[in-house]
Protein backbone atom coordinates (compact mmCIF):
# COMPACT_ATOMS: atom_id res chain seq x y z
CA UNK A 1 0.00 0.00 0.00
CA UNK A 2 1.30 3.42 -0.95
CA UNK A 3 1.84 6.07 1.66
CA UNK A 4 -0.04 9.30 1.04
CA UNK A 5 2.13 12.36 0.54
CA UNK A 6 0.65 15.54 1.90
CA UNK A 7 2.01 18.52 0.01
CA UNK A 8 1.68 21.77 1.85
CA UNK A 9 3.29 25.15 1.45
CA UNK A 10 2.39 27.92 -0.95
CA UNK A 11 0.54 27.10 -4.13
CA UNK A 12 -1.03 29.63 -6.46
CA UNK A 13 -3.80 29.54 -9.03
CA UNK A 14 -3.58 32.36 -11.52
CA UNK A 15 -5.21 33.79 -14.60
CA UNK A 16 -3.15 35.68 -17.16
CA UNK A 17 -4.18 37.49 -20.31
CA UNK A 18 -2.28 37.02 -23.58
CA UNK A 19 -1.58 39.91 -25.93
CA UNK A 20 -4.41 38.60 -28.16
CA UNK A 21 -6.88 38.87 -25.24
CA UNK A 22 -7.24 35.16 -24.43
CA UNK A 23 -7.13 33.98 -20.82
CA UNK A 24 -4.87 31.22 -19.54
CA UNK A 25 -5.32 29.58 -16.13
CA UNK A 26 -2.59 27.68 -14.32
CA UNK A 27 -1.12 26.78 -10.95
CA UNK A 28 2.38 27.00 -9.52
CA UNK A 29 4.36 27.03 -6.31
CA UNK A 30 6.41 30.07 -7.38
CA UNK A 31 4.20 32.72 -9.01
CA UNK A 32 6.89 35.30 -9.86
CA UNK A 33 9.11 32.73 -11.56
CA UNK A 34 6.17 31.23 -13.45
CA UNK A 35 5.11 34.62 -14.84
CA UNK A 36 8.71 35.30 -15.87
CA UNK A 37 8.87 31.87 -17.55
CA UNK A 38 5.67 32.59 -19.49
CA UNK A 39 6.99 35.96 -20.66
CA UNK A 40 10.31 34.49 -21.83
CA UNK A 41 8.70 31.59 -23.70
CA UNK A 42 9.76 28.87 -21.25
CA UNK A 43 6.33 28.38 -19.66
CA UNK A 44 3.31 26.59 -21.05
CA UNK A 45 3.32 25.60 -24.73
CA UNK A 46 -0.04 27.32 -25.16
CA UNK A 47 1.50 30.71 -24.33
CA UNK A 48 4.55 30.52 -26.62
CA UNK A 49 4.44 33.46 -29.00
CA UNK A 50 1.40 34.96 -27.27
CA UNK A 51 3.29 37.17 -24.81
CA UNK A 52 3.79 39.42 -23.13
CA UNK A 53 1.22 38.21 -20.67
CA UNK A 54 -0.49 40.20 -17.94
CA UNK A 55 -1.37 38.74 -14.52
CA UNK A 56 -5.06 39.36 -13.78
CA UNK A 57 -5.83 37.01 -10.89
CA UNK A 58 -3.85 35.06 -8.30
CA UNK A 59 -4.98 33.19 -5.21
CA UNK A 60 -2.73 31.48 -2.70
CA UNK A 61 -3.49 28.07 -1.21
CA UNK A 62 -1.83 26.06 1.52
CA UNK A 63 -2.51 22.68 -0.07
CA UNK A 64 -1.61 21.44 -3.54
CA UNK A 65 -4.85 19.50 -4.11
CA UNK A 66 -7.06 22.50 -3.39
CA UNK A 67 -5.05 24.62 -5.84
CA UNK A 68 -5.41 21.94 -8.53
CA UNK A 69 -9.14 21.72 -7.91
CA UNK A 70 -9.51 25.50 -8.23
CA UNK A 71 -7.50 25.50 -11.46
CA UNK A 72 -9.72 22.77 -12.91
CA UNK A 73 -12.91 24.56 -11.84
CA UNK A 74 -11.77 27.92 -13.23
CA UNK A 75 -10.84 26.35 -16.58
CA UNK A 76 -14.42 25.08 -16.88
CA UNK A 77 -15.92 28.55 -16.37
CA UNK A 78 -17.16 30.59 -19.34
CA UNK A 79 -15.30 33.82 -20.09
CA UNK A 80 -17.98 36.01 -18.42
CA UNK A 81 -17.59 34.08 -15.15
CA UNK A 82 -13.80 34.41 -15.31
CA UNK A 83 -14.17 38.16 -15.83
CA UNK A 84 -16.46 38.33 -12.78
CA UNK A 85 -13.90 36.41 -10.72
CA UNK A 86 -11.12 38.77 -11.89
CA UNK A 87 -13.29 41.80 -11.08
CA UNK A 88 -14.04 40.50 -7.58
CA UNK A 89 -10.33 39.82 -7.05
CA UNK A 90 -9.41 43.37 -8.08
CA UNK A 91 -12.04 44.80 -5.73
CA UNK A 92 -10.85 42.61 -2.84
CA UNK A 93 -14.08 40.57 -2.82
CA UNK A 94 -12.91 37.20 -4.08
CA UNK A 95 -15.80 35.24 -2.55
CA UNK A 96 -15.46 31.95 -4.44
CA UNK A 97 -14.44 29.50 -1.72
CA UNK A 98 -14.03 25.73 -1.42
Dump pLDDT digits (tens) for 68-92: 999 999 999 999 999 999 998 888 7
Q: Is the pLDDT of residue 98 over 60?
A: no
Residue range 8-90 in CATH 3.40.1440.10: yes
Contacting residues for 49 by C-beta, under 8 A, at least 6 apart: 41
Rounded mean pLDDT of 45-56?
84
Helix, coil or strand: residue 1:
coil
Domain residue ranges of the chain, discontinuous segments joined by +: 8-90
List pLDDT tens digits, range 56-67.
999 999 998 999
9: number of Cβ within 10 Å: 9
pTM: 0.82
Which has the minimum average pLDDT: 25-34, 39-48, 50-59, 61-70? Answer: 39-48
Amino acid sequence: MRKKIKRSGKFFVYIVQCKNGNYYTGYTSNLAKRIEDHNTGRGAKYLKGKGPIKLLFAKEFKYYRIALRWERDIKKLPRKQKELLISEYRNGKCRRQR
